[in-house]
């Protein structure tokens, strides 16, 4: 066993010499759970393998994109064929037109869309568009929602009603975030009060309609409807950040699930199928504010990259197979129910929730509805559970604050293997 983990340890030691913390995105480090990150050598279907050749059932799916399973043969083939035709042109392609048409067809609130390369770019650009179109500066975001790492969105959660936020990150000047108002998720009256006192200065409200960056926390339908109504009444733009939940909770995203149309939508993850594609879109009228038609500037050397678009388009085709989302939702629900039952048998305080292909695991009595409720969960128990499952060959997100993802390749056998492993782990933790 000692020998088995040695390659991950060796690589981690090497990585830390040339890369801060040894990782290229902080969530990959095992900072909150402790231990050595696994270095992945290959992935297939619901599995990936680490540098020691150990197989894991993967419940991260690259943090969302791998919805059809890893290395799906059709996606890989499309990527290989596109790559052979050239990697990047810096001029438009027919594939980009098709991808835009497909997104507009699948997401009814989107009439025009711009492709970018990361979720951060999508939300950052949507925000700039909202400000440019309204001529207003203030934005509302919610505690616990993550919208990428643009300066004005990196605001520390925890600010109270009508308190302007502080940057969570060093290097973000106070001046940059003085227009960012942070309110409590699922709290309608706070948003009403904010609009009441400063409605004519608020450019937009940005929200994860199904929050997946504070574990999984669903918005209440009343909350999203209130955001819709308040934005309409006060001439503010409602932005749904569906980078994570888009094409994940339903084919038409959270806006289909809740039947609420935002003015702008940010997309990412699934629409790239594992390669860098993200997008933002809305009504043609609003999108006409973008350069080269309008005064809001945004651009990208690799935007609409042909290889990435090939992966994305093929993934978008695969998720439209009949019954795809019903199956995905059933598998997430099976996992959530099975884990809950296993914890109950062991007498461990635990609950779980799921929506579409997303799930949340909570070491608390009840499913949380806010950041504060989510933070109240037992982190030590989560960490012990995480490592127990890792030993069993099941890879959950290495932090108690992240949602989990199921792919179409997580069949009954894979889910049941996970639950059996959890039963052994819970028994040890009890």
| Interface contacts to ligand PMP, rule CB under 6 A | 63, 118-120, 123, 146-148, 208, 212-213, 241, 243-244, 268, 278
Q: Which residues of 238-265 are buried (b: 16+ CB within 10 A; e: fewer)?
A: bbbbbbbbbbbbbbbbbbbbbebbbbbb
Q: Cα separation of 161 and 213, whole Å?
A: 21
Omega of the bond prior to 292 within 30 degrees of 0, cis?
yes
Write down the least CB distance from residue 178 to ligand PMP, Å: 22
C-alpha pair distances (Å), 109 with each of 34, 42, 95, 139: 43, 37, 22, 21
Q: Which is nearer to ligand PMP, 182 or 348 (CB)?
A: 182
Write down the least CB distance from residue 119 to ligand PMP, Å: 2
Write down the least CB distance from residue 412 to ligand PMP, Å: 28
Write down the least CB distance from residue 389 to ligand PMP, Å: 22
Q: What are phi and psi of 314, to 5 degrees?
A: -65, -40
| Active-site residue, selected from the candidate residues 146, 185, 258, 325 | 146
Q: Which is nearer to ligand PMP, 268 or 338 (CB)?
A: 268
| Active-site residue, selected from the candidate residues 184, 269, 353, 395 | 269
Largest separation between any pair of C-alpha atoms in the chain? 64
Token readout for 123 is 């939300």
146 noted as active-site residue: yes
Q: Cα separation of 207 and 241, whole Å?
A: 6
269 noted as active-site residue: yes
Q: Which is nearer to ligand PMP, 165 or 338 (CB)?
A: 165
Q: Which is nearer to ligand PMP, 123 or 332 (CB)?
A: 123
Write down the least CB distance from residue 411 to ligand PMP, Å: 26
Q: Which is nearer to ligand PMP, 403 or 422 (CB)?
A: 403
| Active-site residue, selected from the candidate residues 184, 241, 263, 353 | 241
297 noted as active-site residue: no
Token readout for 29 is 């480090």
Q: Are residues 305 and 276 in contact, defined by beta-carbon separation less than 8 angstroms? A: yes
Q: Roughly what angle, to the nearest 10 degrees, separates helices 221-234 and 188-198?
A: 10
Name the residue number minimizing CB distance to ligand PMP: 119
Q: Which residues are catalytically annotated?
A: 146, 241, 269
């Amino acid at each position: 066993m000692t020998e088995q983990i040695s390659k991950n340890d060796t690589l981690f030691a090497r990585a830390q010499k040339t890369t801060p913390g040894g990782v290229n995105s902080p969530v990959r480090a095992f900072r909150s759970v402790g231990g050595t990150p696994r270095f992945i050598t290959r992935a297939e279907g619901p599995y990936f393998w680490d540098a020691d050749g150990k197989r894991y059932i993967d419940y991260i799916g690259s943090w969302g994109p791998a919805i059809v399973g890893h290395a799906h043969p059709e996606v890989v083939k499309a990527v290989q064929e596109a790559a052979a035709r050239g990697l990047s042109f810096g001029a438009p392609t027919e594939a980009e037109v098709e991808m835009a048409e497909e997104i507009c067809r699948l997401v009814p609130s989107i009439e025009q869309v711009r492709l970018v390369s990361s979720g951060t770019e999508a939300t950052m650009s949507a925000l700039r568009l909202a400000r440019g179109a309204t001529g207003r500066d203030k934005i509302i975001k919610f505690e616990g929602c993550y919208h990428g790492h643009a300066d004005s969105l990196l605001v520390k959660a925890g600010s109270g009603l009508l308190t302007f936020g502080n940057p969570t990150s060093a290097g973000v000047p106070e001046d940059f975030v003085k227009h960012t108002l942070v309110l409590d998720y699922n709290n309608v009256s706070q948003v009403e009060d904010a609009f009441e006192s400063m409605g004519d200065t608020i450019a937009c409200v940005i929200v994860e309609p199904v929050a997946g960056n504070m574990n999984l926390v669903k918005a209440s339908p009343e909350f999203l409807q209130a955001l819709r109504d308040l934005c309409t009444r006060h001439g503010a733009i409602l932005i749904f950040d569906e980078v994570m939940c888009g094409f994940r909770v339903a084919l038409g995203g959270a806006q289909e699930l809740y039947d609420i149309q935002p003015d702008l939508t940010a997309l990412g993850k699934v629409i790239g199928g594992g390669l860098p594609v993200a997008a933002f879109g809305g009504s043609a009228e609003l999108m006409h504010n973008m350069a080269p038609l309008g005064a809001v500037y945004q651009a990208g050397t690799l935007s609409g990259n042909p290889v990435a678009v090939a992966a994305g388009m093929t993934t978008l085709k695969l998720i439209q197979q009949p019954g795809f989302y019903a199956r995905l939702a059933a598998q997430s629900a099976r996992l959530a129910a099975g884990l809950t039952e296993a914890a109950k048998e062991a007498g461990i305080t635990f609950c779980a929730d799921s929506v579409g292909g997303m799930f949340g695991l909570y070491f608390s009595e009840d499913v949380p509805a806010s950041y504060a409720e989510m933070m109240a969960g037992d982190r030590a128990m989560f960490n012990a559970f995480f490592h127990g499952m890792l030993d069993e060959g099941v890879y959950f997100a290495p932090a108690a604050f992240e949602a989990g993802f199921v792919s179409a390749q997580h069949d009954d056998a894979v889910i049941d293997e996970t639950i059996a492993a959890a039963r052994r782990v819970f028994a040890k933790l009890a």
